[in-house]
Structure 1
Amino acid sequence: MAKPKTRKQPRPRAETPRGFRDYFGAEVRARDTMLARVCEVYHAHGFDPLETAAVETVEALGSFLPDVDRPNAGVFAWNDADEGWLALRYDLTAPLARVYAQHRMALPTPYRRYAVGPVWRNEKPGPGRFRQFYQCDADTVGAASVAADAEICAMLGEALVAAGIGRDDFVIRINNRKVLNGVMEAVGVLDPADPEAHAARRGIVMRAIDKLDRLGIEGVRALLGTGRRDESGDFTKGAELGDEQAAVILGFMAARRGDGAATCAALRDLVGASETGRAGVAELETMAGYLDGAGVKCLIDPSVVRGLGYYTGPVYEAELTFEIHDEKGQRRQFGSVAGGGRYDDLVRRFTGEAVPATGISIGVDRLLAALAAVRQDAEAAPGPVVVTVMDRDRMADYQAMAAELRAAGIRAEVFLGGGGMGRQLKYADQRNAPVAVIEGADERARGVVQLKDLALGARLAADIETHEDWRAQPAQVEVARAELADQVRAVLARAKA
């Protein structure tokens, strides 16, 4: 009897899940360098580092994400048999609120911390929109004055300059959620006596305003009304505001005038008798005064509302003002790379007591993309010097060369793959190696090594036809083995000159 055929298990697909990405060497190094500069600014201002777990309880995270209509309220969550519902953190602020509530008796007040790490959001991915991304935050917990908000914004400006953004290439845009709450009172979707009433509609309104840059005024208008269908056919339910109500919200978004004083006057007219709204306008004026005094270029902009649901007062964004070419080749401003605001009620969820807090979050990938756009004409960062292997039996000698170079402060590695010299030089090119070191039996007998200046060689390659020509041209030199480190350092110095 024939044996039944077993079904062959298909091979797994070698692909990254939608909304996620891989980071390679140059990207990781660029990120580490940028973050080190930013965190040095935070440290200089007296902020201390904090690392929290990637996983929190769902209750600790709360439901504050913009896309709350998606599965798991926008987070990646699972039901643990022992711990209940757990989720990957969606930002670095909600974990901070939990940490402060848990350790408040041992922490100073105000508590000033910075944090760096990946966060995860179960949102619909799209161009430039990932489900995992890095954030770099700085927060002050326990300071109620808008001076704390202004300090955060001023520090953000310093951090952007330290990262490599020009002082004239960004502006800090500020607003206040209390002003928006006053406008919502005016249109009847916020009742101070019953803050929970109309909460869903208010959330839709805030998310609609926050998408102005992406959707334009007509897209926002649709979301304020019955809803909007995007290019993929997905429908987003609107806030169901009437035309007159929507007109007030749109008027709020367009309230920016020629200067801060005129903008605040327009906002006072919009909020009418709302005490909350008028208090927000007053805070805006005070905060703008602090920033002006600190020499920070700021702009009062009512269209800044931030999508997260936990903000209670000042909100702010850092917008880069230089132009880039988009995917269609059209010129446009780069846009926002950081945002934040005041969240005075977040710790209260744990303690029942009001604890003021404010902070900023830098979108690390966004800022890295901006720096790449600024430096798009710059050459790629050099890789390590590659010591080639002419004789496999002498691997220890080649490893000794690489160790000698590293001891001299020069990044170096030995080629450990297979193949001849052509394969090894191709590898060196892929690594963007500035120099390749070659020592065969002849060179060893004479006490010398060959150094290939690969950067110069690439520029001269068009004029080289034979192996003899290659050995004769100045991109390859013969040096004493005893002078290896000094001679490699000289080649690297010429490349930088």
Structure 2
Amino acid sequence: MNEKAKLIAPRLPRGFEDRAPGDIGAVDAMIAKIRTVYERYGFDPVETPFFEFTETLGKFLPDTDRPNAGVFSLQDEDEQWMSLRYDLTAPLARHFAENFESLPKPYRSYRCGWVFRNEKPGPGRFRQFMQFDADTVGAPGPEADAEMCMMMADVMDALGLAGKYVVRVNNRKVLDGVLEAAGVADEGQKLTVLRAIDKLDKFGIEGVAALLGEGRKDESGDFTKGAGLTAQQDRTVLDYVNGQTPPDNAGVLELGSMQTLFDAAGYGADKIKIDPSVVRGLEYYTGPVFEIELTFPVTNEKGQEVVFGSVGGGGRYDGLVSRFRREPVPATGFSIGVSRLAHALKLTGNLESANADGPVVVLVMDKDQTARYQAMVSELRQAGIRSEMFLGQTKNFGKQVAYADKRNAPAVVIEGSDERERGVLQIKDLVAGKQAAQSISDNTAWKAERPGQFEIDRADLVNSIKRLLADQQ
């Protein structure tokens, strides 16, 4: 290589992250538990590609040369714009519409995968992150929505979060009815009112009242303009937020039906509750909406104690599939934010670590004997034991053991010339060695005792390693 050639700086783009083996293993274990619940409810897996035609995602802006508002886009060889998927729901709608004739109806599926947002990154806000969704397409009744809520509760229980969450439920039809009763007709004003209601948990009733009126000034002095409601309009909305039952409409009846199903299935208000402050997808959802809120306290970046908050949610979106087909197609579903949920499990001690799953390492004491070492590794692998032969360049025993430590190896296998002549092997239990090291401070004593190391017959390699791994469990 030309010494004057400029080296490329190894830089990770903002909004993206690398994942280590322990993180991957822990999240995989969490996903497996979620998948088990989904499949118990009768949902089947489906995968859609990372790329979709941009118009499929609904993010194409015809007045721009490049559709990059919120999505990462490129043109294919036919000059058609494609974008990395923004979520997992729009691709599902395309998949269902494209395979409408062959799919069962209702169509019940789940998907887990990466999604991409071309948005400004920040603390805890990534441009690539994982979602785990479940959806029922083709079922119009509130029974399908209630089932989603119950499945969300079962997922949280399966992850060890019983008593630390609540699934909160509302209905966009109820919200629309309240806005109609209050005489709020302007679409922009409607969105401002709904955003104000959505801030109830964060700002309290006084903060919501301010946002419904002229506006609210926060602690830093920043001012957020309000909806500008009249006193009577303000009272109508606040009565609803305070729990007063709104006039009967389709949304109220649907929530009543869902509550009946929750009661029949044994899901009390400690797990699932009707909550008028739930507002999701201001221009997206058409009926029941729901979210999982974790209720245990955490300290935010300002040092304040707050509840952890939402880790997922969803609702009914009857208009999405109709973008592809003329007839109405009802649909409901929810999405879990995998990274945020994993962070919550880590805080509560419920995220399983995969750090102890390293391989048994067969050390290379003599380079001319690699065939013998490879034979040992093959025996272990054929017995289903994760293992590897040391492939580094060093012959130093200590450095090879240090490598095994970094790999979280449970043990190393040692065969030098003396062991080879006697037909034996040395096994060094690295877990037992680390435990013994806590009580031995003298280096001479350490070398003399060789804690965790024992001798076996060469023929007993597989059985000895199996016993050692069983003892470490």
Name the TM-score, length of structure 2 as normaliser. Answer: 0.86
Q: 1:308 to 1:447 in 2, by over 3 A?
A: farther
Equivalent residues in 2 for 1:206-217, closer than 5 Å: 206-210=194-198, 213=201
Is the CA contact 1:177–1:311 (under 8 Å) kept in the aligned structure 2? yes
Identity %: 52
State the SS of the aligned residue for 1:428: helix
Partners of 2:436 and 2:292 lie apart in 1 by 44
State the SS of the aligned residue for 2:163: helix
Is the CA contact 2:425–2:455 (under 8 Å) kept in the aligned structure 1? yes
State the SS of the aligned residue for 1:167: coil
| Partner AA of 1:416 in structure 2 | L
Q: 1:10 to 1:473 in 2, by over 3 A?
A: closer
Is the CA contact 1:171–1:318 (under 8 Å) kept in the aligned structure 2? yes
Q: Which residue of 1 aligns with 2:365?
A: 390
State the 1:466 CA deviation: 2.9
Is the CA contact 1:74–1:122 (under 8 Å) kept in the aligned structure 2? yes
State the 1:199 CA deviation: 3.7
State the SS of the aligned residue for 1:95: helix
Q: Which residue of 2 aligns with 1:482?
A: 459
Partners of 2:118 and 2:299 lie apart in 1 by 29
For the pair 1:438 / 2:414, whether they are aligned, the reply is yes
Partners of 1:402 and 1:353 lie apart in 2 by 61
State the 1:114 CA deviation: 0.9
State the SS of the aligned residue for 1:427: helix
Is the CA contact 1:428–1:436 (under 8 Å) kept in the aligned structure 2? yes
Q: 1:475 to 1:308 in 2, by over 3 A?
A: farther
Is the CA contact 2:117–2:127 (under 8 Å) kept in the aligned structure 1? yes
The match for 2:175 among 174, 180, 199 is 180
Is the CA contact 1:386–1:415 (under 8 Å) kept in the aligned structure 2? yes
Partners of 1:250 and 1:415 lie apart in 2 by 69
Q: Which residue of 1 aligns with 2:392?
A: 417
Is the CA contact 2:214–2:225 (under 8 Å) kept in the aligned structure 1? yes
Is the CA contact 1:252–1:302 (under 8 Å) kept in the aligned structure 2? no
State the 1:146 CA deviation: 0.2
Q: Which residue of 2 aligns with 1:283?
A: 254
Partners of 2:236 and 2:89 lie apart in 1 by 28
State the 1:41 CA deviation: 2.3
| Partner AA of 2:330 in structure 1 | P
Q: Which residue of 1 aligns with 2:64?
A: none
Deviation track 1:284-313 (CA, whole Å, cap 9, x = no partner) reads 121122112112221111221123631100
| Partner AA of 2:378 in structure 1 | A
Partners of 2:292 and 2:115 lie apart in 1 by 20
The match for 2:426 among 447, 450, 471 is 450
Partners of 2:471 and 2:213 lie apart in 1 by 64
Partners of 1:495 and 1:325 lie apart in 2 by 36
Partners of 1:418 and 1:246 lie apart in 2 by 77
Name the TM-score, length of structure 1 as normaliser. Answer: 0.82
State the SS of the aligned residue for 1:351: coil
Q: 1:427 to 1:359 in 2, by over 3 A?
A: same
Q: 1:350 to 1:392 in 2, by over 3 A?
A: same
For the pair 1:352 / 2:326, whether they are aligned, the reply is yes
For the pair 1:304 / 2:282, whether they are aligned, the reply is no
| Partner AA of 2:390 in structure 1 | F
Partners of 1:350 and 1:239 lie apart in 2 by 37
State the 1:113 CA deviation: 0.9
Partners of 2:107 and 2:350 lie apart in 1 by 39
| Partner AA of 1:461 in structure 2 | A
Is the CA contact 2:173–2:287 (under 8 Å) kept in the aligned structure 1? yes
Partners of 1:377 and 1:337 lie apart in 2 by 15
State the 1:207 CA deviation: 4.5
State the 1:240 CA deviation: 4.4
CA RMSD of aligned residues (A): 3.3
Equivalent residues in 2 for 1:67-466, closer than 5 Å: 72-80=68-76, 82-162=78-158, 164-190=159-185, 198-210=186-198, 213=201, 238=225, 240-242=227-229, 244=231, 247-248=234-235, 251=238, 254-255=241-242, 263=243, 266-268=244-246, 272=247, 278-296=249-267, 297-307=271-281, 309-324=283-298, 326=300, 331-375=305-349, 381-382=355-356, 383-419=358-394, 420-462=396-438, 463-466=440-443
State the SS of the aligned residue for 1:251: helix
Q: 1:457 to 1:312 in 2, by over 3 A?
A: same
State the SS of the aligned residue for 2:324: helix
| Partner AA of 1:343 in structure 2 | Y
State the 1:166 CA deviation: 3.8
Deviates more, 1:198-207 or 1:362-371: 198-207
| Partner AA of 2:135 in structure 1 | D
Partners of 1:86 and 1:74 lie apart in 2 by 13
Q: 1:253 to 1:319 in 2, by over 3 A?
A: farther
For the pair 1:56 / 2:52, whether they are aligned, the reply is yes
| Partner AA of 1:435 in structure 2 | A
State the 1:426 CA deviation: 2.1
Partners of 1:230 and 1:79 lie apart in 2 by 44
State the 1:379 CA deviation: 6.5
State the 1:475 CA deviation: 1.5
Deviates more, 1:414-423 or 1:297-306: 414-423
For the pair 1:27 / 2:23, whether they are aligned, the reply is yes
Is the CA contact 2:192–2:227 (under 8 Å) kept in the aligned structure 1? no
Partners of 2:238 and 2:378 lie apart in 1 by 67
Q: 1:238 to 1:438 in 2, by over 3 A?
A: farther
Structure 1 gap segments, 5+ residues each: 1-7, 65-70, 191-197, 256-262
Is the CA contact 1:292–1:298 (under 8 Å) kept in the aligned structure 2? no
Partners of 1:393 and 1:72 lie apart in 2 by 58
Deviation track 1:328-373 (CA, whole Å, cap 9, x = no partner) reads 6665433222211000111112212211110111111122222222
The match for 1:15 among 3, 11, 21 is 11
Deviates more, 1:425-434 or 1:103-112: 425-434
Partners of 1:220 and 1:418 lie apart in 2 by 66
| Partner AA of 1:358 in structure 2 | T
Q: Which residue of 2 aligns with 1:260?
A: none
Deviates more, 1:29-38 or 1:129-138: 29-38
Partners of 1:229 and 1:431 lie apart in 2 by 53
Partners of 2:351 and 2:321 lie apart in 1 by 46
Partners of 1:114 and 1:129 lie apart in 2 by 24
State the 1:393 CA deviation: 2.4
Is the CA contact 2:26–2:352 (under 8 Å) kept in the aligned structure 1? no
